[in-house]
Amino acid sequence: MNKQAQWIAGINAVASAVEHDGENVREVLLEAGAKNPRIVEIETQARRAGIEVRRVAAQALDGVAGGLRHQGAVARYAAAKTWGEDELEGLVEAAGGKALVLVLDGVQDPHNLGACLRSAAAASVTAVVIPKDKAVQVNATVRKTSAGAADSIPVVRVTNLARCLRDLQQQGVWIYGLAGEAEASLYSIDLKGNVALVLGGEADGLRRLTREHCDQLVKIPMPGEFESLNVSVATGVALFEAVRQRL
């Protein structure tokens, strides 16, 4: 697991870091005089966990947050949790034949990645796979948008996405790529076993090499006028169809 220091901002992001990964929170800065009960709760939890807490002026928080909306809470965080490629196999094995992997092929917008991670956490995915290159990484904006999800699910960064998909297939994972021109409907396939759902980036969708490594391309039926969904919305639809089947 790789670690790098960064500041995170926002009540949800800071509260989640303190609760789920307190050993990696170096200090918490809270707005002086803020009476928000959530901020008081963060202060109590952080002190209980032995984390240094300081009350500072709002202007100081503005400077540290670097343009992010901090809501009166920021934290210096020693780990942007990302998992190594070599850890993905173990995560799939531990899922006992019920792995649900989300693969994002080149998402560029940090708000989209954060929203995808939030849906992934709600759907209790096994892991989220993102490429190391030509895609947004888990940064402060992603962490804030994900409302803490970036702390609670494994995000695996891979050098070669096609090779990763091939390795997943060898583990018995079925790879389904979402593409608007596909013939098969997402709702017609069995998503109850080991499954990876692959979604493309905002501009170009799935890359050619990624498509070639999918077992099947499927589409979300759209009877309306628009022919495509935002990647984070499509992610939510696809993941929760898998959840529905598994329930």
- Is position 42 annotated in a ligand binding site? no
Evaluate whether 37 touches 44 at the Cβ level (below 8 Å).
no
Spatial separation of the C-alpha atoms in residues 231 and 106, rounded to whole Å: 11
Half-sphere exposure of 188 (CA within 13 A, CB side): 10
- Is position 200 annotated in a ligand binding site? yes
Tokens in use for 124? 């209790």
Question: If we measure between CA atoms, which residue out of 72, 132, 111, 97 comes closest to residue 246?
Answer: 97
Evaluate whether 7 touches 76 at the Cβ level (below 8 Å).
yes
Spatial separation of the C-alpha atoms in residues 56 and 75, rounded to whole Å: 12
Spatial separation of the C-alpha atoms in residues 160 and 165, rounded to whole Å: 9
Instruction: Report the 10 Å Cβ neighbour count for 129.
Output: 23
- Is position 220 annotated in a ligand binding site? yes
- β-bridge partners, 131: 158
β 195-200/100-105 pair status: parallel
Annotated binding-site ranges: 200, 220, 229
Annotated binding-site ranges for S-adenosyl-L-methionine: 200, 220, 229
